């Protein structure tokens, strides 16, 4: 249990990747604060079709101290409260995983301006707000870690006018924060998932999922656990001199030109 007694906040942790991250951190002994806009796990059309147990309950079954806190990452007040509640309950914060994200399909002529603002608000502003409120507490930890969940979409076009630019922003925010807080011994890294089997994929057709499978060099699509184990590593002592990295966890997606 390499994260015993460390306290982690994971945003968007009720479903999908965030749930996978929370469960792997709990398996390694961390106290896990599950932050989300809904406690009930999302059931996807293609993936996670039968998930029902709330994440905090799963973490508790694994022996972790875990609780759910309702928090919309785009809200300044909610993110301040989330960090305050975590500190009141556990005495500090050692690990912040900014994972919450939404995807609204459509190009520049389909998305409304309000939808564009919403995607940037949750996916990019939310990462900034988490960072802003957690850093003063991470400075008091001997093992302060920020892990931001970006995407392979950060590095190319085709991911829509809000989602992909938000993810590119998350990668740059990761670099910037890494430089700013390095003197306090806090590391800041991004994980860039490829196609992961979660309810977020509901908007895709079976044909598009098949194309993603073909486009992924390793012989399967990704699972939330794949991202969870990468986060365990980045949160661990083994990664104490890694900062400012944007780590693809994508089955080889970014390595291939096709």
Q: Reduced to 3 states, what is the DSSP secondary structure of residue 13?
A: coil
Query: Taking every pair of C-alpha atoms in the chain, what is the biggest distance, in angstroms?
Result: 50
Give me the residue label for tokens 């106290």.
31
Q: How far is the CB of 231 from ligand NAD (least distance, A)?
A: 11
* Integer Cα distance of 185 and 12 in angstroms: 26
Task: For residue 129, give every residue at least 6 positions away whose Cβ sits within 8 Å of its Cβ, in sequence order, or none.
Answer: 73, 74, 75, 76, 79
**Residue 226 binds to ligand NAD (criterion: CB under 6 A):** no
The tokens describing 34, both together, are 């599950």
Among 7, 31, 99, 189, binds ligand NAD (CB under 6 A): 99
Q: How far is the CB of 16 from ligand NAD (least distance, A)?
A: 2
The one catalytic residue among 68, 128, 163, 195? 163
Q: How far is the CB of 121 from ligand NAD (least distance, A)?
A: 8
Considering CB under 6 A, how many residues would be counted as binding ligand NAD?
28
Q: What is the full DSSP assignment across 107-171?
A: -TTTS-HHHHHHHHIIIIIHHHHHHHHHHHHHTTSTT-EEEEE--GGGGSS-STTTHHHHHHHHH
Please give the backbone phi and psi of residue 138, each rounded to the nearest 5 degrees, phi first: -60, -30
* Integer Cα distance of 162 and 157 in angstroms: 11
Q: Which is nearer to ligand NAD, 28 or 72 (CB)?
A: 72
Among 6, 7, 9, 16, binds ligand NAD (CB under 6 A): 16
Laid out side by side, the sheet with 31-36 consists of: 66-70, 31-36, 7-11, 95-98, 145-149, 187-193, 246-249
**Residue 144 binds to ligand NAD (criterion: CB under 6 A):** no
**Residue 101 binds to ligand NAD (criterion: CB under 6 A):** yes
Residues 176-215 that bind ligand NAD (CB under 6 A): 193, 195-196, 198-200
**Residue 130 binds to ligand NAD (criterion: CB under 6 A):** no
Region near ligand NAD per CB under 6 A, out of 80-88, 99-107, 175-183, 229-237: 99-107
Q: How far is the CB of 99 from ligand NAD (least distance, A)?
A: 5
Specify whether 68 is catalytic: no
Residues 38-77 that bind ligand NAD (CB under 6 A): 38, 42, 71-74
Task: For residue 241, give every residue at least 6 positions away whose Cβ sits within 8 Å of its Cβ, in sequence order, or none.
Answer: none
**Residue 15 binds to ligand NAD (criterion: CB under 6 A):** yes
Q: How far is the CB of 17 from ligand NAD (least distance, A)?
A: 4
Q: Could you give the residue numbers annotated as active site?
A: 163
Residues forming contacts to ligand NAD in the complex (CB under 6 A) are 11-12, 14-18, 36-38, 42, 71-74, 99-102, 122, 149, 151, 193, 195-196, 198-200
């Amino acid at each position: 249990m390499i994260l015993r007694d460390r306290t982690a906040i994971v945003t968007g942790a009720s479903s999908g990747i965030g749930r996978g991250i929370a469960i792997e951190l709990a398996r390694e002994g961390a106290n896990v604060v599950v932050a989300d806009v809904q406690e009930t796990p999302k059931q996807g059309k293609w993936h996670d079709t039968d998930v029902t147990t709330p994440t905090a309950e799963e973490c508790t079954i694994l022996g972790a101290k875990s609780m759910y806190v309702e928090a919309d990452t785009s809200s300044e007040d909610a993110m301040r409260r989330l960090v305050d509640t975590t500190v009141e309950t556990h005495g500090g914060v050692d690990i912040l995983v900014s994972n919450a994200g939404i995807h609204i399909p459509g190009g520049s002529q389909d998305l409304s301006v309000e939808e564009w603002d919403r995607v940037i608000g949750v996916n990019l502003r939310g990462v900034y707000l988490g960072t802003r409120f957690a850093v003063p507490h991470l400075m008091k930890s001997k093992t302060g870690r920020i892990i931001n969940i970006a995407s392979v979409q950060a590095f190319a076009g085709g991911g829509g006018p809000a989602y992909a630019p938000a993810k590119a922003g998350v990668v740059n925010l990761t670099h910037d924060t890494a430089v700013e807080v390095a003197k306090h011994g806090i590391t800041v890294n991004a994980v860039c998932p490829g196609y992961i089997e979660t309810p977020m994929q509901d908007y895709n057709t079976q044909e598009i999922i098949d194309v993603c499978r073909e486009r992924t060099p390793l012989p399967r699509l990704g699972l939330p656990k794949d991202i969870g184990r990468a986060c365990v590593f980045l949160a661990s002592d083994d990664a104490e001199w890694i900062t400012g990295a944007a780590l693809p966890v994508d089955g080889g997606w970014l390595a291939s030109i096709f």
